């Protein structure tokens, strides 16, 4: 495939294990998109390679045809964030192609724009734990107007009032429009939009907005004599 053809008609694989479940998308050269989703929260690692192979087979596409791999880098669960990113980087290295790192918020905002779910400025939100949320705010064109944050429910509501936010889309009881998983087709469409960007918004590293939860063993430690 020539460079000119690649720029206008890229073939891009899309992966998400950060937001929830296992979502895979594919954009092929004629602009058609393919998508699959598995509601597997704790067993994504044993399914992701098969899910990729099956979607490529459905689209009669080979890994060698890929021009780039879009992958969500978070925020999300510690393991989920790292899984898809590790697979994407390994495949990209083997195929000598680019990784397109995006946040889950980027894809949520794009879905909201394309499906016309919200009008005016809006927020994207992911419930982290009781009374704690990840969030980011976007304008009516799905362009970010703030950095991603981790905040309490009260702080999130106050920020919405200050910024005149029309609604929240994402996951959690505070969301006005609930999204249970990131749509692979939406990821593929967004991938085409950003494929020609000279510089991506994020580096290909996990997007962590808080420290990892650490618990220590309650077992009595043995003393070494």
Q: Is residue 116 part of a domain?
A: yes
- Beta strands at 168-171 and 12-16: parallel, antiparallel or unpaired: unpaired
d(CA 60, CA 58): 6
11 and 96, same domain (yes or no): yes
Q: Are residues 13 and 74 in the same domain?
A: yes
pLDDT one-digit tens code per residue, 170-207: 999 999 999 999 999 999 999 999 998 878 889 999 99
Read out DSSP for 44-73? GGGTHHHHHHHHHHHTT--GGG--EEEEE-
pLDDT at 222 over 80: no
Indicate which CATH number applies to the domain containing 16: 3.30.420.40
- When divided into structural domains, the chain yields a total of 2
Give the mean pLDDT of 32-56. Answer: 94
Considering the domain architecture, whether residues 130 and 89 belong to the same structural domain is answered as no
**CB distance 107 to 125 below 8 Å:** no
* C-alpha to C-alpha distances, 83 to 45, 75, 180, nearest whole angstrom: 7, 13, 19
Least confident of 83-87, 96-100, 118-122: 118-122
């Amino acid at each position: 495939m020539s460079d000119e053809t690649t720029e206008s008609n890229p073939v891009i694989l899309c992966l998400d294990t950060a937001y929830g479940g296992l979502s895979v998308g594919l954009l092929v050269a004629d602009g058609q998109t393919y998508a699959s989703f598995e509601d597997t929260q704790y067993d994504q690692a044993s399914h992701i390679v098969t899910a990729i192979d099956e979607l490529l087979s459905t689209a009669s596409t080979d890994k060698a045809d890929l021009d780039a791999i879009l992958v969500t880098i978070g925020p999300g669960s510690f393991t989920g964030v790292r899984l898809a990113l590790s697979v994407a980087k390994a495949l990209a290295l083997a195929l000598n192609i680019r990784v397109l790192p995006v946040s889950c918020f980027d894809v949520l905002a794009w879905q909201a724009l394309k499906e016309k779910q919200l009008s005016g400025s809006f927020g994207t939100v992911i419930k982290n734990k009781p009374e704690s949320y990840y969030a980011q705010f976007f304008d009516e064109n799905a362009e970010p107007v703030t950095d991603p944050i981790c905040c309490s429910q009260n702080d999130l509501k106050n920020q919405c009032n200050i910024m005149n936010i029309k609604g929240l889309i994402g996951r959690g009881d505070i969301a006005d429009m609930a999204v249970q998983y990131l749509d692979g087709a939406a990821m593929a469409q967004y991938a085409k939009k950003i494929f020609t960007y000279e510089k991506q918004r994020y580096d290909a590293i996990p997007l962590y907005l808080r420290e990892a939860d650490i618990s220590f063993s309650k077992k009595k430690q043995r003393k070494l004599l």
